[in-house]
A = this chain, B = another copy of it.
């Protein structure tokens, strides 16, 4: 790969890393606000969503500059297209952090998470934070194998999400339907967050190689 092109592509990657960190911070704060019923922190997350959007716009500008200046060949172009799709994945992660903050605000001053579910949601928050931080590292290190590391976290998140469903739908659920609905949505936001982190991480393979795995592969 040409060096000038590689340098500009690295600048695009840096924006992806910045986006991953920003969404990770947003999710960490949204999780804290959810558990502490902290309206000020929830509002902070809601207004900070603009930061992720700005990073995304900046990334789009970089990509346009890169394409205009470097006139990349086909493989290089495929890499750029992949970077844009990763930016979408990460932007969606930011949206999910925003949804959790909005749920906290909607129910304030009532807590969304009852005491009996605190540990479960704290664990989801911890996994989400770890996923973002790993994703940032994988992109920064151009490490296509790192995506596998995220699979375990994603599996754990899926297991928690499924377990929540069972707890919330049980006849013994004592907190009413509204609470069950809120927690279902919150749980789903975490599960989707993990899903998009894994999707973005898997695209690092294309980002490095510019080639699309076969449809039968697990990287889609």
Contact = CB atoms under 8 A, between A and B. Distances in A.
Contacts of A3: none
Nearest to A183: B181
A199 to B, nearest CB: 11
Question: How many chain copies does the complex carry?
Answer: 2
Contacts of A159: none
Contacts of A168: 177, 181
A53 B178 contact: no
Nearest to A210: B64
Interface in A151-186: 165, 168-171, 173, 176-178, 180-181, 184-185
A81 B57 contact: no
A18 to B, nearest CB: 18
Given A169-B181, A181-B181, 18 more contacts: A53-B220, A60-B81, A63-B77, A63-B81, A64-B74, A64-B77, A65-B74, A67-B67, A68-B72, A68-B77, A71-B71, A81-B84, A84-B84, A84-B85, A177-B180, A180-B180, A180-B181, A184-B184
A26 to B, nearest CB: 18
A60 to B, nearest CB: 5
A78 interface: yes
